[in-house]
């Protein structure tokens, strides 16, 4: 198995398709699939992990392109000589990716440590206040969560994985508002939203060069809130849903005045959609809706399957088949030894493959390189 740009292209295009699909599901579709839309992010995570292994597996089916990808292939597979060794641009890009990912991961871990240290300073220690908050946690069956009340007009959030900290505003809110806020954050904890967000944050740090990753992370925040609203309010009356929506508006106003810390699971960008969905009348589940959900699941499954099995690759075979003539000299040509044989390149273009290097080429001094760029003796 050799490193190839094919898996990168597959994953990039697949995430692009799923991001557009996610937008349609969130903002255009009116099916109850919104409460299950987090599965899209699980699929995206699998695809992004696949991108971390940029090789073609034995079961991979390669689709070769001689036109669309040829220009990109000429750039990526171009090479130069450094200290007597052939260095490919593709290898250089991989090094830049790895170094950048390491830097982003260190920054991410450092930021989380700083945030936790800051929150621990504001943990609730007053017995009376702690008893009030613990009553909600006990009712939800949670024992390892702590409460931090931040000064100023801050929004509500939840932070951490092993010993999570619920962040509440130090602002005079009615008991009903506080109850809705705490219930909302508890549901994030129960449905493992913190773990999903943490995984996506790590993948975003690793795939720092991909703009689609940041868009996906933003939409994940919105999905977490939409899904959570559905779970919290599915048993509420219309009046209670209205009260819940008013609580969201109150918290949104606090968020607008708070720019110091980005601790919330969502930035309020989908507030209008959340309110609209809350106020929509609940429709009974029908056969059509069940078939629609099944169609969504089949589509997502096929996308994931294609992203793992089908890989586009650049091919220069058409140029050779057309009878193009080219000159082979030690200055413009070289061989690369692979598992299939010896690939020959002239003027930076793939010209074909041979089982063995002809003695004539050896006598001419045509360089023969291993896949890793080391010249054969």
Residue 183 falls inside a structural domain: yes
Residues 347 and 240 in one domain: no
Q: Within a domain: residue 244?
A: yes
Task: Please report the pLDDT score of residue 376 as a whole number.
Answer: 52
- Please determine, for residue 107, whether its predicted confidence score (pLDDT) is greater than 80: yes
Q: Rounded to whole angstroms, how far apart are CA atoms 243 and 266? A: 20
What's 376's DSSP letter?
P
CB-based burial, 9-29: b 16+ in 10 Å, e otherwise: bbbbebbeebbebbeebbeee
Do residue 106 and residue 199 come from a single domain? yes
Return the CATH number at 128: 3.30.2010.10
Co-location of 121 and 250 in the same domain:
yes
Confidence of residue 221 (pLDDT cuts 50, 70, 90): confident
Burial class (CB within 10 angstroms; exposed 0-12, middle 13-18, buried 19+) of 310: middle
Same domain, 199 and 342: no
Contacts 24+ apart (CB under 8 A), 88-93: 88/373, 90/3, 90/5, 91/373
Look at residue 30 in the predicted model and tell me its pLDDT. Answer: 54
- Do 199 and 332 lie in one domain? The reply is no
Residue 77 lies in a domain: no
- Same domain for 202 and 333, yes or no, is no
Whether 222 is in a domain gets the answer no
Examine residue 127 and state whether it is found in any structural domain, yes or no.
yes
Check residue 41 and give its pLDDT.
66
Q: Do residues 330 and 264 share a domain?
A: no
Strand order in the sheet with 146-150: 146-150, 165-169, 157-159
Q: What is the dihedral of CA 219, 224, 229, 230, to 10 degrees?
A: 90
Residue 349 is assigned to a structural domain of this protein: yes
What's the rounded mean pLDDT across residues 292-299? 79
Share of the chain above pLDDT 90, in %: 3
Query: Domain boundary residue among 268, 292, 310?
Result: 268
The angle, 0 to 180 degrees and rounded to 10, between the axes of the packed helices 238-256 and 211-233 is 140
Residue pair 292/31 in contact (Cβ under 8 Å)? The answer is yes
Geometric angle at alpha carbon 218, from 119 and 103, rounded to 5°: 65
290 found inside a domain: no
Are 328 and 263 found together in one domain?
no
Same domain, 203 and 343: no
Does the pLDDT at position 104 exceed 90?
yes
Verify that 135 and 246 share a domain, yes or no. yes
Q: How many CB atoms lie within 10 A of CB 207?
A: 23
pLDDT tens track for 139-195: 888 888 899 988 876 678 888 888 889 888 877 677 788 888 888 888 888 888 888
* pLDDT band, residue 105 (cuts 50/70/90): very high
- Is residue 83 over pLDDT 80? no
User: In total, how many domains does the chain have?
Assistant: 2
Average pLDDT, integer, range 13-39: 67
26 has pLDDT over 60: yes
Residue 121 shares a structural domain with residue 189: yes
* Pair (362, 252) in one structural domain: no
Average pLDDT, the chain: 76
Range of the domain at 165: 86-210+236-268
What is the mean predicted confidence (pLDDT) over 46-52?
69
Is 299 domain-assigned?
no
């Amino acid at each position: 198995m050799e490193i190839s740009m094919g898996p990168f292209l597959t994953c990039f295009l697949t995430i692009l398709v799923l991001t557009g699909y996610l937008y349609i599901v969130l903002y255009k579709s009116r099916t109850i699939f919104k409460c299950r839309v987090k599965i899209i992010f699980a699929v995206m995570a699998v695809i992004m992990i696949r991108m971390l292994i940029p090789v073609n597996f034995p079961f991979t089916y390669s689709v070769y392109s001689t036109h669309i990808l040829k220009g990109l292939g000429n750039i990526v597979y171009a090479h130069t000589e450094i200290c007597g060794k052939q260095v490919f641009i593709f290898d250089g890009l991989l090094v830049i990716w790895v170094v950048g990912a390491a830097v982003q991961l260190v920054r991410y871990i450092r930021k989380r440590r700083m945030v936790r240290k800051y929150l621990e300073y504001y943990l609730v220690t007053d017995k009376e206040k702690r008893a009030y908050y613990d009553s909600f946690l006990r009712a939800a069956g949670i024992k390892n969560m702590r409460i931090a009340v931040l000064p100023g007009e801050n929004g509500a959030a939840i932070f951490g994985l092993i010993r999570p900290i619920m962040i509440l505003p130090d602002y005079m809110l009615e008991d009903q508002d506080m109850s809705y806020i705490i219930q909302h954050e508890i549901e994030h904890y129960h449905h493992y939203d913190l773990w999903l967000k943490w995984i996506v944050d790590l993948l975003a740090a690793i795939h720092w060069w991909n703009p689609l990753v940041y868009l996906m992370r933003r939409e994940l925040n919105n999905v977490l809130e939409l899904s959570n609203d559905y779970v919290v309010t599915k048993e509420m009356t219309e009046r209670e849903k209205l009260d819940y929506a008013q609580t969201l508006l109150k918290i949104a106003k606090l968020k607008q005045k708070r720019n110091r810390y980005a601790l919330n699971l969502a930035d309020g960008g989908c507030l209008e959609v959340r309110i609209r969905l809350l106020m929509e009348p609940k429709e009974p589940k029908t056969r059509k809706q069940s078939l629609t959900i099944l169609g969504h699941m089949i589509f997502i499954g096929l996308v994931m399957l294609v992203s793992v099995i089908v890989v586009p690759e650049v091919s220069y075979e058409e140029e050779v088949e057309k009878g193009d003539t080219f000159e082979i000299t030690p200055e413009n040509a070289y061989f690369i030894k692979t598992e299939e044989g010896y690939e020959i390149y002239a003027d930076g273009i793939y010209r074909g493959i041979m089982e063995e290097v002809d003695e004539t080429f050896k006598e001419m001094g045509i360089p023969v390189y291993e896949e890793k760029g080391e010249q054969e003796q």
